[in-house]
Structure 1
Amino acid sequence: MTPTQLRAFAAVVRLGSVKRAAAELEVSEAAVSLHIGQLRKELGDQLFTRTASGLAFTPGGLRLASRAGELLSLQERTIMEVSQAGAGRRLLRVGASSVFAEYAAPGLIELFASRAADLDVELSVHDPRRFPDLLHSRTLDVAIGPHVAAAGDESLIRKPFLNYQLTIVTGPDHPLAKVEASLGQLRDQTWLLGPSAATDVGVVPALLRRIGVPEENQQIFQSHAAALEEVKRNNGLAPAVTFAIAKDLANGTLVRVPGPSLRFDGVWATLTLASQGTPPAAEELVRFVTTPRATQAMLRGPGVSVGRFRPSIHVTLWS
């Protein structure tokens, strides 16, 4: 069983078609079929059959599908780690929710990476719903985002470390800037939102559900900062992390929408595998986020811009 064979099978599983897998891998359909045939012969399993509604996987095929991504990721990671070890370096791959990545991660990662001259940190942004799969496939070493109950999954360890608060804000000249709005009035407004609104997990989606904001009144921007810039022009409302907008509230470019029930509490947590495969650098980060220095770094507001990161920190935006 070779990486090339697994890569072909994983592409077929993901795309549901030998033809599309061949196009993605830039090989012929015959090459993909050959790799699948070799896997079938070696494993003694048909893996999948073609039906009128698509591919139907055997129990063995489903098991291989769940392992293929993990094996390929481990291969890639091993190649990278061997290369870095030869250069005397380590790599820590951190995945984060969009809110944490934008507001708290810059200061945290900069401070953490500065403590070890041989450590490279890669920060990528993901939908929190994908965290378990990304950890199990070894694509991530540690994930940070909304604290969600483990729901009986003993293969993962969640450790909450920081409480934060969301408040609803608008521009100083918006009609709701100085009046206590009803839920009906809030629902009728234009909501200017960051990418966290596109998922079902976290405080922002919970806030939108609680108020009952219809989808047609939601505009989602590529970043929360971009949404807030539009809010400052009095074009709508937005939920914002309180510590990140302290300066804007102080200088009056943003104002809180009045109302006693318009503040929402959230908790960020680290997520790692319960097995012994967690890298030492990930375990060190899990301990570090609970320290006063780390908390201060995260609460500095938006923190250090990506352009000012040390070369050993890489930021990747993944859909």
Structure 2
Amino acid sequence: MTPLNLAHLETFLAVVRTGGVRRAAASLNLTQPAVTARIRNLEDVLRCTLFARGPHGMTLTREGERLLRHAESFAHLAERLTQDLIAPGALERHLRIGVSETIAQCWLPDLVARLHATYPQVEIELTVDVSRDLRDRLLAREIDLAILLGPVSDYTVDNLDLPGFDLAWYVAADDSADPETCLRRPVLSYARTTRPYRELKALLMEHVGPEARIFPSSSLSAAFRLVEARLGVAALPRALGAAHVAAGRLREFDPGWVPGPLRFTASWLGEPGNHLAEHAARTARDVAKNWDRDNNIL
């Protein structure tokens, strides 16, 4: 008889948490047949059926529910051992971080440097994407940590608030139009599927009216370039716009109102064994606060 081992329990937990063999295989970097074989091996060792397999997927049997409690205890103990006994430099893991472009243009390099100094053996993979797609990738376990316009409203996800970004209105530096005229031009915005776009659209409807024109863009850097080229105006993060103003490419204008700050969170799956992602999230918060202080944002 094959003895019970932690790999069997880890696979069992992955199937329970992801809701199926396919997603469990992806999260464990295994093939689906390998995951199925481990579950069957575990059932053979325990001499019981752990999952009821039906047309609507896999559900835990009574024995599976009992095993789940023990497996979670084992996972918690393994996490404590990792935290208490293994030196950070000894960890050899892969950390997949997804970030919004706003973060990528600010303090992301500082975060990577800090994580590399703490976990020199951890391979860090970066993805820059819009917040909606980052949320989907986090829930699909394609990334371990998402730094995005949050929070992520899902019971499986833990969210840590990060310092926000105040917005300011920008127009080309050589454009002398008054604020009211500026807002009659195309207004460049974040992507259509984002919260900032929806909020800006509502505010423009209130202050300008139905004739307001919004040009959404998934690229923050492109939005700055388009404003500089006098193709529109935009409400963009002041932390990033300051350099363009100092270089004489853009200027701020004040129509009497501005959209609210961008609110970001560091979000990760709150489950045993995910302490590396949690530590990275807390490091992100520290790095963001330091970046704000060093750039006189606070």
TM-score normalised by length of structure 2:
0.61
State the partner residue of 2:203: 210
Task: For 2:117 and 2:163, locate their aligned partners in 1 and report how far apart those are by CA, in whole Å.
Answer: 21
1:111–1:294: 8 Å Cα contact kept in structure 2?
Answer: no
Q: Residue 105 and residue 69 in structure 1: after superposition, are their counterparts in 2 closer, same or farther (change >3 A)?
A: farther
Distance 2:294 2:220 in 1: 16
Q: Secondary structure at the match of 2:119?
A: coil
Deviation at 1:252, TM superposition (A): 2.8
Q: How many residues align?
A: 219
* Residue 285 (structure 1) shift: 0.9
Structure 2 distance, partners of 1:299, 1:69, is: 45
What do residues 101-149 of structure 1 show as CA deviations (whole Å, max 9, x unaligned)? 3434233223332433212211113332344542333211111111337
Q: What does residue 155 of structure 1 align with?
A: 156
The answer to whether structure 1 residue 296 and structure 2 residue 276 are counterparts is no
Secondary structure of 1:99's partner? helix
CA distance in 1, matches of 2:273, 2:137: 14
2:172 corresponds to 1:171: yes
Q: Which residue of 1 aligns with 2:193?
A: 199
Amino acid at match of 1:96: V
**Aligned partner of 1:70: which letter?**
R
Output one character per residue of 1:195-252: Cα deviation in whole Å (capped at 9) or x when no partner: x423233x34422332138799444556311221221122211222111121222343
Cα distance between partner residues in 2 of 1:180 and 1:154? 44
Q: 1:50 matched to which residue of 2? A: none
* Aligned sequence identity (%): 21
For 2:226 and 2:234, the matched residues in 1 are separated by 9
| Cα separation, partners in 2 of 1:254 and 1:263, compared to 1, 3 Å | farther
The C-alpha deviation readout for 1:30-82, integer Å capped at 9, x for no partner, is: xxxxxxxxxxxxxxxxxxxxxxxxxxxxxxxxx9x963552242243799xxx
Q: State the partner residue of 1:237.
A: 233
The equivalent position to 2:250 in structure 1, one of 251, 254, 261, is 254
Task: Give 2:100's aligned amino acid.
Answer: S
Return the alpha-carbon distance in structure 2 between the equivalents of residues 73 and 216 of structure 1. 45
* Pair 1:90-2:93 in alignment: yes
Provide closer, same or farther for how the CA distance between residues 135 and 206 of structure 1 changes in structure 2, counting only shifts above 3 A. same
Distance 2:291 2:102 in 1: 15
Q: Given the superposition, is the C-alpha separation of residues 105 and 250 from structure 1 closer, same or farther in structure 2, using an over 3 Å criterion?
A: same
Given the superposition, is the C-alpha separation of residues 106 and 223 from structure 1 closer, same or farther in structure 2, using an over 3 Å criterion? Answer: farther
Classify the secondary structure of the residue corresponding to 2:109: helix
| 8 Å contact kept, 2:91–2:119 | no
Task: Structure 2: state its 5+ residue gaps.
Answer: 1-15, 35-89
AA partner of residue 158 (structure 1):
N
CA distance 1:120–1:294, shift in 2 (3 Å):
farther
Q: Does 1:226 align with 2:222?
A: yes
Q: Answer yes or no: is the 8 Å Cα contact 2:171–2:250 preserved in 1.
A: yes
Q: 1:88 to 1:267 in 2, by over 3 A?
A: closer
8 Å CA contact 2:204–2:212 kept in 1: the answer is no
- In 2, distance between residues paired with 1:273 and 1:210? 34
Q: Which has the higher contact order (CA 8 A, sep 6+)?
A: 1
Query: Counterpart in 2 of 1:35?
Result: none
Residues 241 and 132 from structure 1, CA distance in 2 versus in 1: closer, same or farther, beyond 3 angstroms? Answer: closer
Greater than 6 Å deviation, 4+ residue runs = 213-216, 298-301
Q: Partners in 2 of 1:98 and 1:142 — Cα distance?
A: 15
**In structure 2, what is the Cα distance between the partners aligned to 1:92 and 1:226?**
29
Counterparts of 1:138 and 1:122 in 2: how far apart (Å)? 14
**1:117 counterpart SS class:** coil
Question: CA offsets per residue over residues 261-291 of structure 1, 9 Å max, x none?
Answer: 125312211111222142x321111221232
* Separation in 2, partners of 1:221, 1:116: 36
Q: Structure 1: which 5+ residue stretches go unaligned?
A: 1-62, 80-86, 302-319
1:159 maps to amino acid: L
Aligned ranges for residues 68-83 of structure 1 at < 5 Å?
69-76=22-29
CA 1:134 to 1:259, structure 2 compared with 1: closer, same or farther past 3 Å? same
- CA-atom RMSD in angstroms: 3.4
Q: 1:69 to 1:217 in 2, by over 3 A?
A: farther
Change (3 A) 1:253 1:149: same
Q: Matched residues in 1 for 2:250 and 2:108: separation? A: 23
For normalisation by structure 1, the TM-score amounts to: 0.58
Structure 2 counterpart SS, 1:197? coil
- Work out whether residues 71 and 137 of structure 1, in 8 Å CA contact, stay in contact via their aligned partners in 2: no
Shift in alpha-carbon separation, 1:113–1:295, aligned structure 2, 3 A:
farther
